[in-house]
Structure 1
Amino acid sequence: MKFNQNCILKISLILCCSLVMMLQSCKKEYTPLKVQKELLADIENLELKTNYFQKLAEKETDLNKLKQAFAHTRLAYKKIEWAVEYFTPDPARFINGPALDELEVAENKFLPPNGFQVIEEILYPEYDSKNKTTLVREIKMIKANLNQVKQSISVITISDDFVLDAIKMQVNRILALGITGFDSPLAQLSIPEANIGLNSISNLISKMDYHGDESTKLVKEIVNSCSEASKYCQTNNDFFAFDRIYFITNFLNPIYKNLIAFQKTNAIKNIDQNSVVNPEATTIFDKNAFDVNAFIPSKEYQYTAEKVALGKKLFSENRFSKDNTRSCTSCHNPKLAFTDNLKTNVSLQGGKLARNTPTLTYASLQNAQFWDMRQLDLEKQSSDVIQNKEEMHGNVSNIIGFLNKDKAYFKLFQQAFPKSKQIQEWQVQNALASYVRSLNAFDSKFDKYMRGESNDYTNQEKLGFNLFAGKAKCATCHFIPLFNGTVPPKFNKTEHEVIGTPENQNNLKISPDLGRYKQHQMEQLKNAFKTPTLRNVAITAPYMHNGVFSSLEQVIDFYNKGGGIGVGLKVENQSLAPDKLNLNDKEIKALVAFMETLTDDKYVE
């Protein structure tokens, strides 16, 4: 059979196109497969180190050898932490979760902690060989969960969009949990472990198969930043002396910004793994970094400016109270960062309310409301207060008739809820909640400095932040950058703590308020209270659930002594470490100076 020249040319073109398509297909598959292959190899390496650690624990009593094996195993875990936490969060909890019971309050049960942090408490500061059985059991638990991780990782597709999303989370994890000592409070391995995490980020971004001058430039900048950050960790590895504010502003923030730029340059889609953090935010300190809609009950409760305008008017409405004398502003004064500066406010009967009025600023960025966390969202919070016999003794349904007849209100409701012909109870709750959701300014002196909008930050304030996130251990409960108990980097859980708050300043007796225990009779919840935000804390005195401390200095002194146990109280379930912090006067003043920089612009005199 003969072919003419045109026919041969067409066949050649078809073959060339087919070959190009095949190569492109292989190219697309290559990077994910390589990442997955390396990840599985790193998991196997961790398994080897875990096996060695177990054998050593079974026969060895030399503390230094055990600590060294522990450190090496942890570092191997930190190399793959970005993937384990992202792709397999359930086993991750039992590999490196907090050394506290995991409470399932809805089912009135708890899961005991397992993993590296439990092992750390066994080995540090001293190891008792009587705990050998427990130590070996915990190592075996890590091995079992690692096997689950390996099985999961081996069957999933690890595409570039997921890898990039996981990397971004890892940057925020290093920032908020890593360098603060959250998961290494005793061993203080946080800085070397941050170094390992950064190396993983550098390795992953360099493997992404994207071309073009801008992509090449961004990858180079990210790799260089990771390298410089790594060098900084190596030469500044002392946990207490580590300059965290310098590290964040000079390394972590630029890395995150370039990751976002790389994503946009290459049109890599956003993954809805973290609905709280805005995927467009260039750092976690951006004004728009957090989405209040991530904390709403369902879609119809979406935040809008019209709902805010309505909610603001309702916030001052006295008709919610039974005797028409109280509104939300009676306790939450807008001029005082929505507090009242009282130890506890006055009840309708003229007595004292049981608990201090918390600020409503940034209250929307929590997964539970009230000191005892009894309501999950702001909608339920508003109706709870209105119905409370000591606070308002009213009912939202009782005001609906008035609102439907009032022309000004009815117009605002039509604007806020255009699809509804009649005002409904849920809309009232949603409007009030929407107003509270508008109270997140993120414009404090601290915010502006972290965003690079201002250089106005004193050495004392920088020292205060470094103490807050280091020696003073404040950031292990009040997580950066919200400074409340909402746990980064996913922010899908808000924590409580048992700190042993005294009834009076003389520290002779623990507060009789049982906190969360009133709703859920579990021993771990006795005297447990939500970790509140410290934003605007300089103007929201007095402090604690009962307003027992009138100044920040008094609060710091309490923590400096080790909380309730440290001041001599009997607190069997205290979650706060009872050890002294050994903060001196200069450091206490610096901590106060830093916390004063968390005040929103509108409240600065």
Structure 2
Amino acid sequence: MLRNPTKLFIVASLWLTCLGIVLGLKTDTRNIGVANALSAFKENNAAFGSSSVALKTAVSLLSGKDTAAVLKARLDLKQSRMDYKRIEFFMDYFFESSSLIYNRPAKVEVDEPYMEYQEPSGFQVMEAMLFDDDPFSHKKALMEQAELLASSAADLDALLYGFEGTDKELLESIRLELVKVITLSITGYDAPELKSGIEESYQSVFAIRQVLQPYLAYGQSDLSSQLSENLGKTLDYLKAHPDFDSFNRMEFLSTYALPLQEQLGKFITALSLSFNQKSSLNYGAKHIFSKEAIPAEAFTAMGTSKPLKAALGKKLFFENALSGNLKRNCSSCHRPDQYFCDGLKTSLAFDAKTFVQRNAPTLLYAGFQYAQFWDGRVKTLTEQIKAVIANPLEMNGNHAVVLAGLNKSNIYKAEFLKAFPASGADPVSMKNLSDALAAYLMELAPMNSSFDRYIAGDKKAMNASEVEGFNLFMGKAQCGSCHFAPLFNGLIPPLYKRTEYEILGTPANDDFEHPKKDTDSGRFGFFPIEYYQEAFKTPTVRNAAMTAPYMHNGVFKDLNKVVEFYNQGGGAGLHLNQPQQTLSAKPLHLSDDEVKKIVAFIESLTDKI
């Protein structure tokens, strides 16, 4: 006899739904799994509440130089994180503002455009202090954080009062949690010192399976059984391979996680419960590494005649009439034969004698960000295009003069009208010009590298060193915790709606024995607040093997030097004064062989263009 109220609800819901189908009645699938999810949340939150109290107790016992007490506090922090991971999907999706208390990055974040500072709090802040050289000096701050966690965890059930979540929302929440496992948890993004990311991934997938139980009973038997089987295999693999540094991320993704994501998508679609309220993702894509997973439409709206706009944009890319001296064009600094770079430390300026301030990055995948220029001072490609054309150091083109010149060409007027038929008698405008160029740039995202072919199923596309390099990149080397998959840039998973800035302490020279401080203030020059001092946008490492030199100032000539810079702990690790550095100053302890393998992986990200 069933005595569990949650099970009684599930059985009753399924029985009524089936009865409705038999009788030809219209059924409401709104609450197939909501009650089960709420019950699981309460159960898992109870565990989280207990472990947060234990963490608070452990922190209170820190005294003197008792290293055993520190180890105990670290273990209790890890356990509390484990318990939280079983409710993370629910908190992040339904109670986002409340969830920020628990697992916010250990750095001040700026909420733009309102310029509100979000002070770090929760697990990551505690981790940084507990792994500091002198954790005892942080006891007061640790107690404040532990008290915050314990007291707020005790009140979490109150958030459920009047809860009105639906099946569609619930299934999107676990869909996004799986993306988080694939792109963040296995990289150690939010637990770099504890290195508990693999064990935490187990907890997240366990929670996903908990939520799915009533849907698996409700759905098509073949899809349900396949999904259920793969959930079990994924959990078994994570449980059998908990060690962070040795974890085979490529095997996990290829054999378990990506097929699981594909099956989950098909299952949700079969239930007619597909829903996208939160993210920039295309849920119709096979998995996160599919070319169509992050659609261009999330960044710019080109309309129905996009191909015509892109064709016009490609022609304009090589058009000297966009410059003030009729001698320069976009390809002057972004040469297609050099993977849309120019190979210079910083590009030659308009006068052909001096140089601009910063390195010209590749335009491949450039549009797949929510900020443009190294300092992110504009939000869209169209804004960037207009700014570059007018910049005296770059194109030095007067917008009115440029348009007047193009209007003298009947060919251009006809092509603009075809690309922008709603423009009427005045198709040659700066808006249309920038839209056309942006449409072309958005097409510069081939995703046909050896890595892309490998992840799509061609296991001969990468060699063993490249695969091991991927595992290091996404794990021990912590590269994947800033260069996020699948674009390996600063577009933050799982929502892909925000671009990240980092302070690395990049020096002005490449002599690690005698580094010199760079004078470029980065985003601070646009937003003069201390947290943006020397902050720069995180570019893609796709095609990086072809786009030397590197960094905003072009200081590093080869990838080995770049990886070694991170290996040393960035500028602070080189003993430069970098008080706001967001990159950990601790060495990564990568061997020469590991550095070579990471470079080999980056080389496997080279597209055929």
| 1:254 aligned partner | 259
CA contact (8 A) 1:63 1:127 kept: no
CA contact (8 A) 1:181 1:476 kept: yes
Q: Which moved more, 1:300-309 or 1:483-492?
A: 300-309
User: Compared with structure 1, are the counterparts of its residues 361 and 30 closer, same or farther at alpha carbon in structure 2 (3 Å cutoff)?
Assistant: closer
User: Compared with structure 1, are the counterparts of its residues 26 and 476 closer, same or farther at alpha carbon in structure 2 (3 Å cutoff)?
Assistant: closer
User: Compared with structure 1, are the counterparts of its residues 63 and 417 closer, same or farther at alpha carbon in structure 2 (3 Å cutoff)?
Assistant: same
Counterpart residue identity of residue 386, structure 1 = I
Q: 2:106 aligned with 1:104, yes or no? A: no
CA contact (8 A) 2:52 2:153 kept: no
Tell me the CA shift for residue 108 of structure 1: 4.2
Q: Distance in 1 between matches of 2:544 and 2:75?
A: 41
CA contact (8 A) 2:106 2:124 kept: yes
Q: 2:591 aligned with 1:588, yes or no? A: no
Q: 2:56 aligned with 1:54, yes or no? A: yes
Q: 2:151 aligned with 1:134, yes or no? A: no
Tell me the CA shift for residue 336 of structure 1: 1.4
Q: Distance in 2 between matches of 1:277 and 1:70?
A: 32
| 1:264 aligned partner | 269
Tell me the CA shift for residue 220 of structure 1: 2.1
Counterpart residue identity of residue 364, structure 1 = G
| 2:417 aligned partner | 414
Tell me the CA shift for residue 112 of structure 1: 1.3
Q: Distance in 2 between matches of 1:257 and 1:600?
A: 25
| 2:449 aligned partner | 444
| 1:185 aligned partner | 192
Q: 2:502 aligned with 1:500, yes or no? A: no
SS at match of 1:134: helix
| 1:8 aligned partner | none
Q: 2:79 aligned with 1:77, yes or no? A: no
User: Compared with structure 1, are the counterparts of its residues 125 and 233 closer, same or farther at alpha carbon in structure 2 (3 Å cutoff)?
Assistant: farther
Tell me the CA shift for residue 147 of structure 1: 6.5
Give me the TM-score of the superposition, normalised by structure 1.
0.91
- For residues 163-194 of structure 1, give each alpha carbon's deviation from its aligned partner in whole angstroms, at most 9, with x where no partner exists: 22122211110011000000000111111101
CA contact (8 A) 1:108 1:522 kept: no
Q: Distance in 1 between matches of 2:508 and 2:313?
A: 36
SS at match of 1:380: helix
| 2:466 aligned partner | 461
Q: 2:159 aligned with 1:157, yes or no? A: no
Aligned length: 582
Q: Which runs of 5+ in 2 are unaligned?
A: 1-17, 64-68
Identity of aligned residues (%): 33
SS at match of 2:110: strand
Q: Distance in 2 between matches of 1:88 and 1:22?
A: 37
Give the counterpart of 2:483 among 478, 481, 485: 478
Give me the TM-score of the superposition, normalised by structure 2.
0.91
Q: Which moved more, 1:83-92 or 1:540-549?
A: 83-92
Q: Distance in 2 between matches of 1:46 and 1:442?
A: 41
Counterpart residue identity of residue 499, structure 1 = L
Give the counterpart of 1:292 among 296, 299, 306: 296
User: Compared with structure 1, are the counterparts of its residues 27 and 365 closer, same or farther at alpha carbon in structure 2 (3 Å cutoff)?
Assistant: closer
- For residues 360-415 of structure 1, give each alpha carbon's deviation from its aligned partner in whole angstroms, at most 9, with x where no partner exists: 11011111001111111101000111111111111333222333342221222122
CA contact (8 A) 1:293 1:302 kept: no
User: Compared with structure 1, are the counterparts of its residues 107 and 555 closer, same or farther at alpha carbon in structure 2 (3 Å cutoff)?
Assistant: same
Counterpart residue identity of residue 341, structure 2 = T
SS at match of 1:106: coil
Q: Distance in 2 between matches of 1:386 and 1:397?
A: 11
Q: Which moved more, 1:70-79 or 1:157-166?
A: 157-166
Q: Which moved more, 1:564-573 or 1:175-184?
A: 564-573
Counterpart residue identity of residue 508, structure 2 = E
| 2:607 aligned partner | 600
CA contact (8 A) 1:88 1:149 kept: no
Q: 2:227 aligned with 1:222, yes or no? A: yes
SS at match of 1:155: coil
CA contact (8 A) 1:517 1:523 kept: yes
Give the counterpart of 1:402 among 405, 428, 441: 405
| 2:308 aligned partner | 306
Q: Distance in 2 between matches of 1:535 and 1:126?
A: 36
Q: Distance in 1 between matches of 2:385 and 2:62?
A: 58
CA contact (8 A) 1:105 1:520 kept: no
Q: Distance in 2 between matches of 1:503 and 1:70?
A: 39
User: Compared with structure 1, are the counterparts of its residues 303 and 526 closer, same or farther at alpha carbon in structure 2 (3 Å cutoff)?
Assistant: farther
Q: How does 1:425-574 map to 2 (within 5 A)?
A: 425-507=430-512, 508-574=515-581
SS at match of 1:69: helix
Q: 2:382 aligned with 1:375, yes or no? A: no
Q: Distance in 2 between matches of 1:219 and 1:179?
A: 26
Q: Distance in 2 between matches of 1:27 and 1:452?
A: 36
Tell me the CA shift for residue 109 of structure 1: 4.6
Tell me the CA shift for residue 65 of structure 1: 2.4
| 1:12 aligned partner | none
Tell me the CA shift for residue 480 of structure 1: 1.1
Counterpart residue identity of residue 279, structure 1 = Y
Q: Distance in 2 between matches of 1:26 and 1:429?
A: 47
Tell me the CA shift for residue 78 of structure 1: 0.4
CA contact (8 A) 1:40 1:154 kept: no
Q: Which moved more, 1:405-414 or 1:590-599?
A: 405-414
Q: Distance in 1 between matches of 2:19 and 2:84?
A: 44
Counterpart residue identity of residue 42, structure 1 = N
Counterpart residue identity of residue 252, structure 2 = F
Q: 2:360 aligned with 1:353, yes or no? A: no
Q: Distance in 2 between matches of 1:417 and 1:580?
A: 53
SS at match of 2:236: helix
**Superposition RMSD in Å:** 2.3
CA contact (8 A) 1:91 1:148 kept: no
Q: How does 1:164-203 map to 2 (within 5 A)?
A: 164-203=171-210
CA contact (8 A) 2:110 2:116 kept: yes
Tell me the CA shift for residue 509 of structure 1: 0.8
User: Compared with structure 1, are the counterparts of its residues 591 and 158 closer, same or farther at alpha carbon in structure 2 (3 Å cutoff)?
Assistant: same
User: Compared with structure 1, are the counterparts of its residues 474 and 136 closer, same or farther at alpha carbon in structure 2 (3 Å cutoff)?
Assistant: same
Q: Distance in 2 between matches of 1:70 and 1:218?
A: 38
Q: Which runs of 5+ in 1 are unaligned?
A: 1-15
Q: Distance in 1 between matches of 2:398 and 2:156?
A: 50
CA contact (8 A) 2:29 2:167 kept: no
Counterpart residue identity of residue 330, structure 1 = S
CA contact (8 A) 2:501 2:537 kept: yes
Tell me the CA shift for residue 519 of structure 1: 1.0
CA contact (8 A) 1:54 1:140 kept: yes
Q: Which moved more, 1:561-570 or 1:201-210?
A: 201-210
Q: How does 1:224-243 map to 2 (within 5 A)?
A: 224-243=229-248
Tell me the CA shift for residue 148 of structure 1: 7.2
CA contact (8 A) 1:303 1:434 kept: no
Tell me the CA shift for residue 335 of structure 1: 1.5
